[in-house]
């Protein structure tokens, strides 16, 4: 993590009573493939990154949380017992995590806290999951005797998004932030919660993000509409095939059967999701064989689906994807929820320098600003630093 513990500590000392607390970290994530599949009970393939959130926390013996956002230079105080919670969105993440941990029986007390992050906001790298996860992990350590299992900590973050922020997200981001392991991607079955670590060291290739710097904002966005479309189609299929509980169980034939009963748009969204389920499994097989050409091919297919069927791309991201294709990059696609943020690119080492240069120059020429290049290093999940 580029973030310096010392910076967080010095602000914590300055903004509170001069004493120090415990320091925790939790990362953002990338996702190799498996986009918008988590809330359809499908598979995802994320890994934690080195960028993340660091928080210093010290119990203060009251029922109040006094929180300082170092990056926003904003301080908020709220009571753990106030059902409404604070107004500021950043503080609502912390409030939501506290309330959800309390609902699990963890006797959370008031605390002072300062936090800072180096996950670019709105880049599709899950800065919000990093924030939720650092507090879920810390509260479990400080008040919960670490009795809450890791997957439940991830769900605490997810419920925070649903109930306190209004984004009906899946489990991928919080899962990855909590469970990440340096050097490994994880294949998660979002239905059963089973997952497997895949050491990821593609010899001769690099993973690089190109951040379009178009800020994606999932709050109040069409993200929730996408989820609704999937649920509509799954419900129609379920009426004919009771064994189908979600789109994870559906086939293209089943989709064709219900086409007359669903909107064109919903059918198009579902078509993407059914295809994406297969692509994740194909990528897992290909990775085991070291077949990166197939991995890359699937990434391009995913981009096409996200852009043309799921419609979560934008001009800037499609442009970056086209450049990757022109420059011979092995695989490239939108990463995360979409509507802005980054592309993730699997590029051979010999093409890397040229690709990065061409992507930056051409993008700047067209859109008048430079995209930001982020080399991916797969890092560890939530942990105590000090």
Binding site residues, ligand GLA, CB under 6 A: 35-36, 38-39, 126, 169-170, 172-173, 336-337
Residue 66 or 155: the one with the smaller Cβ distance to ligand GLA is: 155
Q: Would residue 173 show up in a list of annotated catalytic residues for this protein?
A: yes
CB 333 within 8 A of CB 303: yes
State the nearest-atom distance from the C-beta of 222 to ligand GLA, in Å. Answer: 12
Cα distances (angstroms) measured from residue 13 to each of 57, 59, 114? 11, 14, 9
Please state, in angstroms and rounded to a whole number, the distance separating the CA atoms of residues 306 and 163: 27
Residue 276 or 327: the one with the smaller Cβ distance to ligand GLA is: 276
| The two structure tokens encoding residue 42 | 């499908």
Question: In which region does residue 380 sit, left (phi positive, over 0), alpha (psi from -120 to 50) or beta (all else)?
Answer: beta
Please state, in angstroms and rounded to a whole number, the distance separating the CA atoms of residues 35 and 336: 6
Residue 47 or 170: the one with the smaller Cβ distance to ligand GLA is: 170
State the nearest-atom distance from the C-beta of 368 to ligand GLA, in Å. Answer: 28
State the nearest-atom distance from the C-beta of 132 to ligand GLA, in Å. Answer: 11
CB 381 within 8 A of CB 48: yes
Please state, in angstroms and rounded to a whole number, the distance separating the CA atoms of residues 57 and 179: 21
Residue 110 or 180: the one with the smaller Cβ distance to ligand GLA is: 180
DSSP 285-304: HHHHHT-HHHHHHHHHHHHH
* From 38, 41, 173, 380, the catalytic residue: 173
- Active-site positions? 173
């Amino acid at each position: 993590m580029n973030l310096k513990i010392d910076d967080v500590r010095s602000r914590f000392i300055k903004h509170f009573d001069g004493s120090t607390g415990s320091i925790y970290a939790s990362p953002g994530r990338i996702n190799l493939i498996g986009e918008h599949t988590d809330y359809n009970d499908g598979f995802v393939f994320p890994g934690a990154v080195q960028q993340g959130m660091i928080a210093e926390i010290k119990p203060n013996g009251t029922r109040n949380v006094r929180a300082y956002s170092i990056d926003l230079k904003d301080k908020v105080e709220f009571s753990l017992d106030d059902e409404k919670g604070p107004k500021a969105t950043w503080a609502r993440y912390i409030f939501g995590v506290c309330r959800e941990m309390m609902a699990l029986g963890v006797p959370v007390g008031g605390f002072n806290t300062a936090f800072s992050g180096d996950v670019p906001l709105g880049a599709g790298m899950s800065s919000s999951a990093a924030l939720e996860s650092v507090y879920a992990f810390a509260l479990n350590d400080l008040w919960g005797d670490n009795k809450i299992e890791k997957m439940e900590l991830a769900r605490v973050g997810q419920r925070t998004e649903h109930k306190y922020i209004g984004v009906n997200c899946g489990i991928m981001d919080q899962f990855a932030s909590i469970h990440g392991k340096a050097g490994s991607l994880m294949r998660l079955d979002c239905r059963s919660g089973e997952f497997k670590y895949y050491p990821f060291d593609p010899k001769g290739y690099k993973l690089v993000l190109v951040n379009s710097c178009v800020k994606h904002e999932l709050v109040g966005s069409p993200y929730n509409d996408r989820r609704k479309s999937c649920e509509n189609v799954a419900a129609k299929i379920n009426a004919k095939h009771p064994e189908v509980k979600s789109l994870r169980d559906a086939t293209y034939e089943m989709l064709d059967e219900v086409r007359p009963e669903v909107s064109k748009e919903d059918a198009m969204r579902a078509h993407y999701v059914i295809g994406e389920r297969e692509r994740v499994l194909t990528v897992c097989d290909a990775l085991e064989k070291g077949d990166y050409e197939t991995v890359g091919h699937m990434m391009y297919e995913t981009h096409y689906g996200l852009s043309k069927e799921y419609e979560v791309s934008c001009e800037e991201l499609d442009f970056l994807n086209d450049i990757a294709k022109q420059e011979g990059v092995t695989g490239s696609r939108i990463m995360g929820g979409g509507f802005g943020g980054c592309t993730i690119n699997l590029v051979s080492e010999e093409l890397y320098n040229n690709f990065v240069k061409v992507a930056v120059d051409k993008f700047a020429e067209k859109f008048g600003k430079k995209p930001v290049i982020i080399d991916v290093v797969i890092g560890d999940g939530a942990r105590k630093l000090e």
